[in-house]
Amino acid sequence: MSPTDAIRAVLRNHQRFVISGHVNPDGDAIGSCMGLALALAKMGKEPIVVLEDFPKKFRIVPGEDFIWKKPHDELTAEVFVALDCADVKRLGTAKALFDRMPVTVCVDHHGTNDGFAQYNLIDPDASSTSEMVYNLFAPLVDIDPDIATAIYAGMVTDTGGFRYQATCETTLSNAIRMIETGIPFTEIYNELMHRHSFLSSKALGVVIANAKQALKGRIVYSSVTRQDLAAVGATPNNLDRTAEYLMCTRGAEVALFVYERETAPEVKISLRSHHFHVGRFAARWGGGGHQLAAGCTVVTPLEEILPILLEELEKEL
Ligand code: 5GP
Ligand code: MN
């Protein structure tokens, strides 16, 4: 049996599911979790979603009522479904639930995913996990506007608004299926891609002011400290799609963005590229991701890690 058929059988044959995505959830993690939860509920199942708090703009995705708000040890289910999560550790506190669930499933599109569940569907060519999840449940349930909103939100987020190379004809034809349910698709698109708080603009200003080039512009990089952000009244939570912005620089092959997280001493590294495999690069520092978008978190001070990363990148480009 193919992984797709095996996972469809799991969805059909069980009743109680706990669905979770990666820590620091983005639109694809949220969209795939809520999309699957809504679809399972429509099939008469009992889904629960376990996700960390997420940015306000993602409240556009329906399914809030599925989110488990009580202590995790009070939660029981038959199946754990991990979505958009490249590594079992990236489940965060939900990993303890994964460890005690009798049946485990993983659906993901990160090439660095080693298939940590009993049933794994990993497709590095898929532009989003949300689209993979839609393809899984499409023969089992009729989609409605709520399901379509969740899936569409995930697709828009992970394709950068249908802009990244992984976007293909089937991505767009699946997006049309979502749009045909009557969802406010331009509003969803604008809310996710083109609307931000004033403080996010100020934070981006700091990132751009600090940006530099290396290797004759083939690398564009920037770093910001908590103090840099505090000077404009912003925090690391106001940093949004920053690495994407740097990557739009003409001539850049790799964008590197490093910032101090709210919780010292953690330093977050985001990498974007047009060809170079940043997923493998980030894996060396305990992270991972995709060929063209990856990240990691280290506890080395920013001023120490930045020159190390630059030197390694310059050597390899
Ligand atoms: P971002 O730079 O936006 O945080 O992440 C870019 C991509 O890399 C996303 O697909 C994200 O899931 C993945 N990623 C970010 N940080 C990590 C990490 O620490 N470990 C792994 N395995 N993937 C990461
Ligand atoms: Mn994703």
Question: What are the pLDDT digits (tens) for 254-278?
Answer: 999 999 998 878 999 999 999 999 9
| Single pTM value for the model | 0.95
What is the structure's pLDDT at 223?
A: 98
What is the structure's pLDDT at 168?
A: 97
Backbone φ and ψ of 209, nearest 5°: -60, -35
227-248 per-position pLDDT tens digit: 999 999 999 999 988 999 999 9
What is the structure's pLDDT at 265?
A: 86
What is the structure's pLDDT at 301?
A: 95
Cα 216 to middle of ligand 2, angstroms: 31
Does residue 279 have a pLDDT over 90?
Answer: yes
Taking the CA of 292 as reference, the closest ligand is 1
Q: Which atom of ligand 1 is nearest to the CA of 110?
A: 10
Query: Residue 50: how many CB atoms within 10 A of its CB?
Result: 23
Give the confidence band of 45 by pLDDT, cuts at 50, 70, 90. very high
What is the structure's pLDDT at 276?
A: 98
What is the structure's pLDDT at 264?
A: 74
Cα–Cα nearest to 221, from 291, 270, 292: 270
Residues with CB under 6 A from ligand 1: 22, 86-87, 90, 112, 243, 270, 287-290, 293-297
Cα 278 to middle of ligand 1, angstroms: 10
Strand order from edge to edge, sheet including 212-214: 212-214, 219-224, 254-260, 267-273, 293-298, 288-289
What is the structure's pLDDT at 300?
A: 95
Residues 6+ apart with CB under 8 A from 235: 199, 226, 229, 262
Cα–Cα distance measured from residue 140 to residue 109, given in angstroms and rounded to the nearest whole number? 22
- Find tokens 């700091």 and name the residue: 206
What is the structure's pLDDT at 263?
A: 81
Mutate to test the pocket of ligand 1, among 116, 256, 296 (most ligand atoms within 8 A of CB): 296
